[in-house]
Amino acid sequence: MIRSLEIPVGRLAAAVLAACATLGAAFALAAVSAYLVTRAWTMPPVLDLTVAVVGVRALGVSRGVFRWLDRMLTHDVALRGVVSLRTNLFTALATRPGDVLTRLRRGDLLARLGDDAQELGDHVIKAVVPALVAAVMAVVVLATFAPLSLAATGAMLLSLAAASLLAPFAAHRAARLSEEAVLESRSGVTAAALEALDDATSLRLDGRLEEALVELAARQEGHDRAVDRAALPAAIAAAAVPAAMVLAVLGSLLAAGAAWEAGALSAGQIGILLLLPLSSFEASTALPAAASQLARTRAAERRLTALLGPEGESEPAVPTERPERARLTARGLTAGWSADSPRVQDLDLDLAPGARLAITGGSGVGKSTLLATLAGLLSPLDGTVTTDAGSLREAVTFFAEDQHVFATTLRENLKVVHRDVTDEEALAALAAVGLEDWAGLDAMLGPDGTTVSGGERRRLLLARALLRRGPVLLLDEPTEHLDPERGDALLRALLTPGDESLVPAASTVVVVTHRTEAIPASAPVLHLEESP
């Protein structure tokens, strides 16, 4: 899954070099400053300090420049990686076989495509780059101490090992035990919150809103407990780096005392040996957080892999040119979300090209479930659904009542179904559903259609379905939220083949509706009864 970020090695190397230059400038600034302070204490000629003074100024300025360059290059790599990751994710989802996506709650799917994908993007900034920089800076620090004192170098080596290996290992081990629970609970909170927001009206009418809010509060409490469990080991890992720094300072202090008594080092070198350990762990302080990020990344990667399925498991992408005719057949079909409570049982359908079918029945009898199964979005519990025009995805266009409306122009909302839709085709589809007087193709729509009425939203989604150019069109309550006169006229135009139909005569149309009085006499009707 990390490979889906498609991070160029050259850009990653540039980001690491910029980060190393930033910390290297800070490290060199500390060394030169320590030398300047202790050397000035001996009151040498002023000209002897000129180079050190200029060096302090140059390093102080260059550190800021390198920090800016580091941030720009690192975030450039991460953002490019996230773009590639999301592109690859949606490409993989578009060809994902089975009904895994359909069975996921919207909040869970949102958490995986949003939060989990972002965790993989953060992996570059918070884990990969800090780990590589820490490795480079450890070599620089040891190479600086080695000419001054082998004893101090040994103490520094032990301290860096504790800060760079033991502390991240402890952080990763603790985070691995808790981060999965955090991710799972966060997904549950998101799913429960979205369900309560989206269905607040129906939940209130059914008297289940309070129950939903109690469930949301319980999930939030579980999430808070998971976060609290993750805080303690993170604090322990963070304390390990200052403890290692104390060990390094003590080692340098002892080594400096021995060197001063032996007269082996100058005052400036003694100052470097004493003060430089305080600036040697800046790269290591980011490693516990990097280890925790690694644990979060692996947990997110597992969840995304479960969503996408095993690598290589995919269906062919829907071709640009779709077949014009298709026969849709169901044999012994049992459909439902659970084998314990099937909604439709032992159903046989044989819809020839150009057939029209109206599906009616009370609420909860399985009309939408049947439609999702015929569309291939929900796997049958028993029986088969087939077509003679390739796969169901190639042949079927499904109009769902909860399709998303994007916060962009009307034109782009219509081109979602087909990138080659022309303005003439878009205007013709809008006119066919009664939206010819709307504000134009450049009109901006709010997020999820909040700036349009319920009827306008339905007709917009119907226009999108008509532009899909599929041989089989499945429509779930397309006339909902329309006034009776306009809705009935639209329903008759869908179910009556001929010149006045909204779809070609060779296309098969299946409509779920509760407006039984508007169904044309020529259209066959499948009435579903509630399962016993």
CATH of the domain at 228: 1.20.1560.10
Tell me the per-residue pLDDT of 380-415, one tens digit each, with 9 for 90 and over. 999 999 998 777 877 888 888 778 888 889 999 999
Rounded-to-integer distance, Cα 108 and Cα 194, Å: 10
Q: What pLDDT does residue 312 have?
A: 46
Q: Looking at the 3D structure of the chain, how many domains does it have?
A: 2
Q: What pLDDT does residue 310 have?
A: 60
Residue 266 lies in a domain: yes
Domain end call among 247, 278, 308: 308
Rounded-to-integer distance, Cα 67 and Cα 29, Å: 14
Same domain, 126 and 235: yes
- Count CB atoms within 10 A of the CB of residue 252: 28
Same domain, 294 and 359: no
Rounded-to-integer distance, Cα 445 and Cα 442, Å: 9
Domain at 458, CATH number: 3.40.50.300
* Domain that includes residue 332, residue range: 328-528
Q: What pLDDT does residue 296 have?
A: 81
Residue 207 lies in a domain: no
Same domain, 119 and 249: yes
Same domain, 146 and 283: yes
- Phi, psi angle pair for 396, to nearest 5°: -105, 135
Residue written as tokens 């290591």?
284
Same domain, 340 and 301: no
DSSP label at 7? -
Rounded-to-integer distance, Cα 308 and Cα 314, Å: 9
Query: Reduced to 3 states, what is the DSSP secondary structure of residue 187?
Result: helix
Same domain, 267 and 235: yes
DSSP label at 425? H
Same domain, 281 and 351: no
Residue 105 lies in a domain: yes
Residue 399 lies in a domain: yes
Residue 9 lies in a domain: yes
Q: Are 354 and 497 in contact (CB under 8 A)?
A: yes
Query: Would you say the C-alpha torsion 103, 105, 108, 114 has a positive or negative sign?
Result: positive
Q: What pLDDT does residue 531 have?
A: 64
Same domain, 304 and 332: no
DSSP secondary structure string for all residues of 347-390: EEEEE-TT-EEEEEE-TTSSHHHHHHHHTTSS--SEEEEEESSS
Same domain, 283 and 417: no
Residue 409 lies in a domain: yes
Residue 214 lies in a domain: no
Rounded-to-integer distance, Cα 416 and Cα 404, Å: 10
Same domain, 235 and 146: yes
Same domain, 277 and 380: no
- Count CB atoms within 10 A of the CB of residue 392: 20
Domain end call among 274, 308, 342: 308
Rounded-to-integer distance, Cα 210 and Cα 334, Å: 34
Query: Reduced to 3 states, what is the DSSP secondary structure of residue 335?
Result: strand
Domain end call among 244, 277, 308: 308
Residue 354 lies in a domain: yes
Same domain, 42 and 167: yes
**Residue numbers of the chain with a pLDDT score lower than 50:** 312
